[in-house]
Amino acid sequence: MVTPIERTYIERHPKSAERFELSKELFPNGVTHDARNLKPFPYFVTHARGSRKWDVDGNEIIDYKGGHGALILGHSHPDIVAAVTEQMTLGTHYAASTDIEIEWAQLVRDLVPCAEKVRFHSSGTEATMMAVRMARAYTGRTKLLKFHDHFHGWNDYVRSHEPGDGGIPAETASTVISIEPNDVGLVESALAGDPDIAAVIVEPTGAHMGDTPVRPSFLGELREATERYGVVLIFDEVVTGFRTSPGGAQALYGVTPDMCTLAKILGGGLPGGAVAGRADIIDMIQLRDDASFNKSRRIGHNGTFNANPLSAAAGRKALDLVKNQPINDRANAAAARLKAGLNDLLSRMEITGAATGVASAVFLRLGFEVDADDDEVVFTKEQERMAGNAAVKDQLTLAMYNHGVDGGLRFITSAAHSDDDIDATVEAAGRALADLRGQGLV
């Protein structure tokens, strides 16, 4: 049965509906990324600039998806456009080393505390795959310790023990241990009970960009425990790198991991990933004057588009802006204004919930009370269930889009979001929540 919110969406997006019919014949579910699944059908976009994008039906939308977190500068930033355009005229792939990759890596090292050396990839998934392999090669151990629901890409190891792990061999899954986050006692038990654990990997602000938060103090506890057991600590900073602060979550919280994975903002809106960390671990890729090491312990690593000139040009410019301009301050200020506006709205509408988040990621929690200013908050299982209510999430996403905002329960702000954008977003949220109230969902 079609809801009133869905009916409005269908009426306003006939061209997206047409394209979806074509897409279903080409792609599973008609989409090319799981996060773009949307019922009754996804929207199709033609172009974007600054804080806004336009769909094929001509709707102008304030965007809080931000390229899945890649666009802290906003869409089509003129400096990024200029850097990529200039590089296009010089060549897109030399199959050779370049000055640009050196300058890009130097910016990573300047900004990220753990980054003694860097290895570039083409995506965050590749980076996490490499980080885990480096840890295994370095320690000579086999197993990975991860946390329930923390997202590290789709490779076999980090995706095992999670929904959507079809096709992962049982033998692979047996080398991965998944436990609840925020409990250092569970970590201690796992490390003490299994000397074959090579690494611990964590999203440092919590699962899915911080949707289910991690206590900042837990990061310090992880650092101490992993050091004591000689286990490699990996921060997955694919999202938080250059966003939570210019130096990522590790700089914000003052906890330096052995390695971190980077992507999204790293590439300035183009494909790019990296592993950064201790030189002795990253150097498991390095050829040595040792035939036995090169054959049996060294990590061979190719990748056609590693540090390709286009991504390097965009990434170099993006990180230069993050380093030298108040990009993070602007994005964080937009998030703070949005959180305050949403919390005021919930109070006025007498809806139980709160807007929370770290830096420029804002989460709307509906159905339970939470202190928006408590960094050490840990959700109960019931609160996690309520926060992930699919019916509320799906209907709110559609309702917000109907009112000109691509957001829902998660908003990723950028330096391009203005005060007017934020105020318009809060107004749209009020109308969207009223729509949900009309359907008995809040």
Q: How many CA atoms lie within 13 A of 46 on its CB side?
A: 10
pTM for this structure? 0.95
CA distances (Å), 197 to each of 29, 135, 136, 274, in order? Answer: 37, 10, 9, 23
Q: Which residues are within 8 A (CB) of 157 and not within 5 positions of it... i.e. 6 or more apart?
A: 129, 132, 144, 172, 175, 176
Question: What does the pLDDT look like over 350-389, one tens digit per residue?
Answer: 999 999 999 999 999 998 888 777 777 788 878 877 777 8
Cα separation of 290 and 45, whole Å?
A: 53
- Strands of the sheet containing 143-147, edge to edge, are 117-121, 273-277, 259-262, 232-236, 197-202, 143-147, 176-179
Ranges of H-type helices in 194-255: 207-210, 216-229, 248-253
- Evaluate whether 288 touches 298 at the Cβ level (below 8 Å): yes
Which residues contact residue 46 at a Cβ distance below 8 angstroms, ignoring those fewer than 6 apart?
54, 55, 56
Domains of the chain: 4-75+327-438 (3.90.1150.10), 78-324 (3.40.640.10)
Write out the E strands in 149-283. Answer: 176-179, 197-202, 206, 212-213, 232-236, 259-262, 273-277
DSSP state of 240: T
Conformation bin of residue 83: beta by default, left when phi > 0, alpha when psi is -120 to 50: alpha
CB atoms within 10 A of CB 279: 10
The answer to whether 305 and 319 have CB atoms below 8 angstroms apart is no
**Which CA distances in Å does 403 have to 180, 400, 427?**
38, 5, 9
Structure token pair of residue 249: 């979550």
The pLDDT assigned to 375 comes to 75
Please list the rounded mean pLDDT of every run of 10 residues in the chain (442 residues): 95 97 94 91 97 98 96 98 98 96 98 98 96 97 95 87 85 92 96 98 92 93 98 98 98 98 97 98 95 92 95 98 98 97 96 93 89 77 78 94 95 98 98 95 90
Residue among 332, 267, 274 nearest 120 (CA)? 274
Q: How far apart are CA 3 and CA 437, in angstroms?
A: 12
- Residue 96's SS3 state is coil
Phi, psi of 301, deg, nearest 5: -145, 110
For residues 436 and 364, the answer to whether their CB atoms sit within 8 Å is: no
Contact between 274 and 263 under an 8 Å Cβ cutoff? The reply is yes
Q: Which of 396, 426, 401 is nearest to 61 (CA)?
A: 401
Q: What share of the chain is helix, strand, coil (3-state, %, to 5)?
A: 45, 15, 40
Three-class DSSP category at 392: helix
Q: CB neighbours (10 Å) of residue 323?
A: 14
Specify whether the CB–CB gap between 152 and 130 falls below 8 A.
no
Long-range contacts of 299-306 (CB under 8 A, 24+ apart): 299/130, 299/133, 299/134, 299/137, 301/119, 301/130, 303/120, 303/121, 303/122, 303/126, 304/93, 305/93, 305/122, 305/271, 306/119, 306/120, 306/121, 306/122
